[in-house]
Structure 1
């Protein structure tokens, strides 16, 4: 399959909002950067969606953290394969999306790739889709707990454990294709905390909200284990995003709630996904991990 390359010379050339990232580095230290992952890596956006690297149906933001990192480092060659809805299968198999087909994400890797960011696993565990099934008009209802915790067995915990070997294989697949690459495994922002939620602002009951918060921690803990097992570098965006979950007011929250409207940037948003403030935090976290 034909490989495509994009050259990044400055943030302005990409139309990237660099509100949260440092200025471009005179000595990037990296020659070829590839970004891989799902909608939280694409920082899925309706107002800033771009088809520069992937089909428009991937909802990849022109201000996602990978583009910010590439611009801040002035990386000469950059490819952003991230796509909403991606699972680890879509690293090696094409992903059908509205308005197109995203080729296997690994197709963007080459033997000369020397920087890779990877954020994946939430869709493999079905945690992202499960959030929608927790919505209710009854503050006493617990649709997620009722469906997913039966006789003391938590199906979501099992899903997360089952996703672990697939994420391990994903990191190993990156290393096989790009043996020189520095691999950063990114976790998921604190979109929901532990404890009571904010019903009805986000119409999820307190017990289900607390359960979701704990499952998110389990998912991020699994990713940390994968990084440890594979020698990838773990980038913790969760602990540093406390107090910026979807229950917080506009301007404070880094992850949107149910109401599909954002102030950063103004306009329709993808529910339960990072807004631009969240993308900026992800970019700062990656750059900090790189010592920038």
Structure 2
């Protein structure tokens, strides 16, 4: 887990250095926030959501996307992340967003230490009358996401046209990250069971991860992986999303919302990318994380999912 925690520490340091120039306290940010996009326009559903709780990691919280909330600052939680956009798109819905950068499934029930404070166990936000829950978790379990971004770029020069990162994580013919993801599925199942126990009447949506790499081609200046590792990165992401889909199916009361297909053509290499590349944008997005366009895209998938089912 060390790699994911250190990444969060770096991001917080960047955030603090530009806070007074760019990011505002939520009360101030609300007055100056840009006009909502089409994705955040209210949708008509047969059910009026009253209490919406968002659980998740940095792909939910939105590191460095303006405007950043201060409760706590170390969670790198944006007022323009997908839970915020979804809440604006649902009529008369009150959002409780407790997502936090660096979170894994264990942080649902345990206090998460972050720079300049801590985030309470995310399950503390759930109530018996909570009627909508989105869960975006799993990428940090067993250090999968952190291991990839901390290791793969450094291996590119050793074999630029090969797949050195895939080889690095393959031991005795076994892809160790895929093996870890198999365990993640079990952990996510436990999370979904915990949500259902605490909020028995809630609609529970397990949100998948959007595409990072293109299906073909490379862009080493933006995504500095060896050429052959692009396909492997896609395979890892697809394996993770498949594990999440299985977790939702095994739970039986949660629904998996797949954002991977909608993100086709919006990978880190694309002109209208949903994902920031290797370089941190201190006033826009953390490296290898969704930008505001990506958050709006994910929110649109969720809103379309709710509307299609008349929820």
Q: TM-score, normalised by structure 1?
A: 0.87
Distance 1:185 1:260 in 2: 27
2:215–2:231 Cα contact (<8 Å) kept: yes
1:86 aligns with 2:103: yes
TM-superposed CA distance for 1:76, in Å, is 4.1
Distance 1:100 1:274 in 2: 24
Deviates more, 1:120-129 or 1:280-289: 120-129
* Paired residues for 1:1-292 under 5 Å: 15=33, 18-24=36-42, 29-45=48-64, 47-51=66-70, 54-129=71-146, 130-136=148-154, 138=157, 139-140=160-161, 142-231=163-252, 232-249=254-271, 252-261=272-281, 267-291=283-307
Distance 1:144 1:33 in 2: 39
1:17–1:63 Cα contact (<8 Å) kept: no
Q: TM-score, normalised by structure 2?
A: 0.82
Distance 1:112 1:261 in 2: 39
Higher helix proportion? 2
TM-superposed CA distance for 1:46, in Å, is 5.2
Distance 1:14 1:112 in 2: 32
Local SS of the residue matching 2:205 = strand
Distance 2:50 2:228 in 1: 48
Task: Classify 1:172/1:217 alpha carbon distance in 2 versus 1 (closer, same or farther; 3 Å).
Answer: same
Count of residues in correspondence between the two structures: 274
Distance 1:218 1:150 in 2: 18
Local SS of the residue matching 1:85 = coil
1:229-278: CA deviation from partner (whole Å, max 9, x where unpaired): 112111111011101111123xx10101102238xxxx353000000110
TM-superposed CA distance for 1:151, in Å, is 2.5
Distance 1:13 1:175 in 2: 36
1:16–1:67 Cα contact (<8 Å) kept: no
1:144-166: CA deviation from partner (whole Å, max 9, x where unpaired): 22320123110011010011110
TM-superposed CA distance for 1:142, in Å, is 4.3
Local SS of the residue matching 1:35 = strand
Aligned to 1:3: none
Distance 1:201 1:70 in 2: 32
1:109–1:178 Cα contact (<8 Å) kept: yes
TM-superposed CA distance for 1:205, in Å, is 0.5
